[in-house]
Structure 1
Amino acid sequence: MSSSKPPLLSNATRDLAGFAAQLRYEDLPAEVIDSMKSSLLDSIGCCLYGVTLPWTQRVQAMVQAEQAAPMASIFGSGQRTSIANAVLVNGTAGHAFELDDIHKESIVHAGSIAVPIALAYAERDGGWHGRDLLTVMTAGYEIGTRVGNAATMSLFYRGFHPQGTSGVFVAAASAAKALGLDANRFLHALGIAGSQAGGLMAAQEGAMVKRFHAGRAAQSGVYAAELAGRDFTGIEDVLEAAYGGYLSSYSDQPNAARLTDNLGTVWETAKVGYKPHASVTSIHAALDALVHIMRDHDLSAEDIATVRVGVSNMTYVHCAWEYKAQGVTAAQMNLYYGLAVIAHDGVAFVDQYRQDRLAEPRLLNLIGRIEAYIDPEIERMGPPYRHAAVVTVVTRDGRELLHRELNRRGSPENPIGRQDVEYKFRNVVDACLSKQEVDRVIALVDQVEKLQDVSELINLLAAPYR
């Protein structure tokens, strides 16, 4: 079956490919460079910690058993494998603990895909300038987030995970830029990647495979770019095709105009946010609101009688399902568990999502006294406020305390600074690198645009943990 309908947006895929293929470091505004440097440090931390986790280690064991040609490092292992296999492991690691950066509109965590790809090619080639690294990352971020924007939240509501679906375009664009593909081959890289998009949201309720979506997207993007470089062809109108295209297949309500809106003028790459909590982004505003109430009123968990939390329909569907101790993934995706650990610990970071905490009786007791609902006022504000939350705590002495949080801490609207990203990095990699190594990675990233060669940075990430 073919379609006689007109394309959703004529030449959209070609226009994006041409833009990314011609992109130079000199084209990047200062705000984009600054964003990419923060994302580089944040993503490295996510990857280094993620490699230590059991689900990533299972993927690594499979890859190492293949004994592929050693071209790029598996972070923290001292082991090398093919480009495609290295990004499979390192991408999985980057998304392994709900810590990776987030672009709100697209619902894509580009760092866990673009950074492993850029570093893998830099290692294979040798001699990459730090500016090359930032340019490759930007190509991936800008193309992939625009694809996610155009797919709209409809893609998510249909049950697809944006990281595995729109994420392949982050990957293909990063790899195509790393390979220096011309505009036509770049177009085919995107066209090949679109046929490899996949990832189901049911994975959020207890499966390891959610982490794998980022790694698999990264690997698929590498395959797409490598094939395009060999003149293998893809769907030339993959994004805008009215029948069987990415947007027409994955989204009931695509907004194709978002693919190229103000391309090269308004940078989606500069709209990336970071995660101070080790959980799904959709619940962060609610966690922030509860922190605010407890801090301002000097409450402990024992003071709380009940909690009511109003959220968007998106967050309710995504995160307000009945909590069961099904595993770390499920806990990190669940609104009730996140609120419970905030109430008891004051934070929701790495230690709060240990396996031995997931069925803790005091947490389960409080979860039973938390109610979530769809807040009509938040709904009326539309998609830009889908992360907003209003939290009401009723204390045991009868007080009713309310706080509304429209923009989560770490979002572009309520940003955290580079020093906060560095603080998070130090905490995440504390068990992975020595203090001297941590300091050196931070220093190298801080001056990455001035580095004549990024090999020292790669070597620090590649060395086996001691």
Structure 2
Amino acid sequence: MMDADKAVPGATAVLADFAAGLTFEDLPKDVVDHLKLAVLDGLACCLHGATLPWTRMVADLVDHDGGTPEASLIGMLRMVPVANAVLVNATAGHAFEMDDIHRDAITHPNSIAVPVALNMGERLLGTRRAGVPGSLVLTAMAAGYEVACRVGSAAGTDLLLRGFHPQGTVGPLVAAATAARMMGLDAAATAHALGIAGSLGAGLMAAQEGAMVKRLHSGRAAEAGVRGAELAAKGFTGISDMVEAEYGGFLSAFAGKINIDRAVQGLMPGQDMQWEVLRTGFKPHAMVTSIHGALDALRAVMTDNNLAAGDIARITAYVSHPTYVHCAWPYKAQGITAAQMNLYYGLTMIALDGEAFTAQFTEDRIKAPEVLAFIDRIDAEVDPAIEAEGPGARHMARVTVVTTDGRTLSHTERNRRGSPENPVSAADLDRKYNALAVPVLGEAKAAKVKDFVAELDTVEDIRPLMNLLTA
């Protein structure tokens, strides 16, 4: 993506140059098709999230602040300033653990990129006579995905294991690159947008054990990225070597290592472009992605052997070390957030209910006596064989079930359902969309949104979509 005869700049500059120069014509068809699915999935997550109490609290706060009504709150009947809109909408997108996931970056790009691109598009509609085409939205989203997922992958599990939440730390880069591209910032201004947003990232993983604030990390990331782009457009400066700085840079501070090669992979002279968009998968379970392999493995054991929950005496889940640290802590019914992040609760839902979706995460269900009793049948261990396969096997899981009649049954799930290697079907995504969007919009509006997004790459103006999304 760079000329070979030019001096090699730092990683931050390389990423900014890529994002600023990206055009819709650069996007291969499979990338465009995936991004349209990411938009539909992201909107479904935002719509469902808009109904939840933690999102409503943030929306109430924003309403109290007032300001210029320039961007929509998705699933709500009002408009607010754009930075406040993305704060609410990206909180909603991450509000129920159903947004997409880039495994190596440990980041959920669509819950940030979708509202940022659409809300920034609304601001553009208010400042110019021409419409905002869907192709610009998709291009800006691609910039956000490609920049942030490279940096997040360079940080890898080290960032997570040091206690930082990738959505709150990597997420601002999704938002900054997306917003900068929507605004048409040049490479220098985009670098400053990234340098500002990267300095504002935050989020502690202890939030997963019951705190609503985990959801807010995504909203704050979106707000930081938009603010970074807005300030950069005014000439405000950020950290010029934010990604690669040896002291206090993103990689050195959050990950304790500086993996520049991964941060700019595919963007240097002589390298083949590898689209991070296509390394992003969708989530069929409303739970942390790290345990989806274990959930799928248990479901396979039960289905293949015609087992019911009453047939199970013991379950042992063998997982990677990052998954064990992240998700295998003692379950105490601390709240819905904790239930969605907990391996033992997830396996219990598969055993008892056959799924882990919206109905499995209510205040009554997460503390039901039969749930707490079944959790006592489950153990988890770090599997040395999975660890030996390296970071790429982080989501791999092996589940062993001992039945009440003495049989020992096992299944290994290398690639979770919904991953790029084991994608969910179009029908599965359609069911997920309908389950989340129809209760908010109604069948007619939800169908119109779906039809509009299917043609997003060709529409001349996003205004009809935004009108549909204000329920």
Tell me the TM-score normalized by structure 1. Answer: 0.96
Mapped partners of 1:229, 1:200: distance in 2 = 30
Corresponding residue number in structure 2 for 1:173: 177
Mapped partners of 2:122, 2:429: distance in 1 = 25
Corresponding residue number in structure 2 for 1:5: none
Mapped partners of 2:368, 2:88: distance in 1 = 31
> After superposition, what is the alpha-carbon deviation per residue over 1:51-89, rounded to whole angstroms, capped at 9, x for unaligned?
100000000000000111101011111111000000000
Mapped partners of 2:244, 2:72: distance in 1 = 36
Mapped partners of 2:374, 2:438: distance in 1 = 31
Asked if structure 1 preserves the Cα contact closer than 8 Å seen for 2:192 and 2:236, the reply is yes
Q: Secondary structure at the match of 1:431?
A: helix
Asked if structure 2 preserves the Cα contact closer than 8 Å seen for 1:151 and 1:256, the reply is no
Asked if structure 2 preserves the Cα contact closer than 8 Å seen for 1:152 and 1:253, the reply is no
Q: What does residue range 38-77 of structure 1 map to in structure 2 within 5 Å? A: 38-77=37-76
Work out whether 1:112 is the aligned partner of 2:116: no
Mapped partners of 2:409, 2:369: distance in 1 = 25
Q: What does residue range 8-87 of structure 1 map to in structure 2 within 5 Å? A: 10-87=9-86
1:252 maps to which of 232, 252, 256: 256
Shift of 1:413: 0.8
> After superposition, what is the alpha-carbon deviation per residue over 1:241-298, rounded to whole angstroms, capped at 9, x for unaligned?
1111111111123422111111271111111100000000000000001111111111
1:436 maps to which of 427, 434, 444: 444
> After superposition, what is the alpha-carbon deviation per residue over 1:141-185, rounded to whole angstroms, capped at 9, x for unaligned?
111111101112111110000000011110110111111101111
Shift of 1:14: 0.6
Corresponding residue number in structure 2 for 1:361: 369
> After superposition, what is the alpha-carbon deviation per residue over 1:111-166, rounded to whole angstroms, capped at 9, x for unaligned?
01111010101122221111011001111111111110111211111000000001
> After superposition, what is the alpha-carbon deviation per residue over 1:228-250, rounded to whole angstroms, capped at 9, x for unaligned?
00000111111111111111111
What letter is aligned with 2:85?
A
Mapped partners of 2:319, 2:180: distance in 1 = 39
Stretches of 4+ aligned residues off by more than 4 angstroms = none
Range with bigger deviation, 425-434 or 47-56: 425-434
Q: What does residue range 56-205 of structure 1 map to in structure 2 within 5 Å? A: 56-126=55-125, 127-205=131-209
Asked if structure 1 preserves the Cα contact closer than 8 Å seen for 2:246 and 2:258, the reply is no
Corresponding residue number in structure 2 for 1:306: 314
Asked if structure 2 preserves the Cα contact closer than 8 Å seen for 1:152 and 1:255, the reply is no
Asked if structure 2 preserves the Cα contact closer than 8 Å seen for 1:289 and 1:403, the reply is yes
Asked if structure 1 preserves the Cα contact closer than 8 Å seen for 2:319 and 2:398, the reply is yes
Asked if structure 1 preserves the Cα contact closer than 8 Å seen for 2:46 and 2:75, the reply is no
Work out whether 1:228 is the aligned partner of 2:232: yes
Shift of 1:418: 2.7
Corresponding residue number in structure 1 for 2:215: 211
Asked if structure 2 preserves the Cα contact closer than 8 Å seen for 1:154 and 1:254, the reply is no
Mapped partners of 1:417, 1:178: distance in 2 = 31
1:295 maps to which of 296, 303, 307: 303
Corresponding residue number in structure 2 for 1:416: 424
> After superposition, what is the alpha-carbon deviation per residue over 1:72-107, rounded to whole angstroms, capped at 9, x for unaligned?
011111111000000000000000000000000000
Range with bigger deviation, 219-228 or 450-459: 450-459
2:396 maps to which of 377, 385, 388: 388
Q: Secondary structure at the match of 2:316?
A: strand
Asked if structure 2 preserves the Cα contact closer than 8 Å seen for 1:152 and 1:254, the reply is no
What letter is aligned with 2:316?
R
Q: Secondary structure at the match of 2:340?
A: helix
Q: Secondary structure at the match of 1:163?
A: helix
Asked if structure 1 preserves the Cα contact closer than 8 Å seen for 2:140 and 2:178, the reply is yes
Mapped partners of 1:230, 1:418: distance in 2 = 43
Mapped partners of 1:430, 1:389: distance in 2 = 33
Mapped partners of 2:398, 2:407: distance in 1 = 16
What letter is aligned with 2:301?
I
> After superposition, what is the alpha-carbon deviation per residue over 1:306-330, rounded to whole angstroms, capped at 9, x for unaligned?
1011000010000000001110000
2:282 maps to which of 269, 274, 297: 274
Shift of 1:42: 0.3
What letter is aligned with 2:118?
L
Where do 5+ consecutive residues of structure 2 fail to align? 1-7, 126-130
Range with bigger deviation, 46-55 or 67-76: 67-76
What letter is aligned with 2:19?
A
Mapped partners of 1:237, 1:426: distance in 2 = 43
Asked if structure 1 preserves the Cα contact closer than 8 Å seen for 2:140 and 2:181, the reply is yes
What letter is aligned with 1:418?
A
Q: Secondary structure at the match of 1:430?
A: helix
Tell me the TM-score normalized by structure 2. Answer: 0.95
What letter is aligned with 2:80?
T
Q: Secondary structure at the match of 1:329?
A: helix
Mapped partners of 2:398, 2:348: distance in 1 = 16
Shift of 1:10: 5.0
1:329 maps to which of 334, 337, 347: 337
Asked if structure 1 preserves the Cα contact closer than 8 Å seen for 2:50 and 2:89, the reply is yes
What letter is aligned with 1:386?
R
What letter is aligned with 2:425?
G
2:244 maps to which of 234, 240, 243: 240
Where do 5+ consecutive residues of structure 1 fail to align? 1-8
Asked if structure 1 preserves the Cα contact closer than 8 Å seen for 2:135 and 2:457, the reply is yes
Task: Give the alignment's Cα RMSD to 1 decimal.
Answer: 1.0
Q: Secondary structure at the match of 1:354?
A: coil
Mapped partners of 1:308, 1:250: distance in 2 = 33
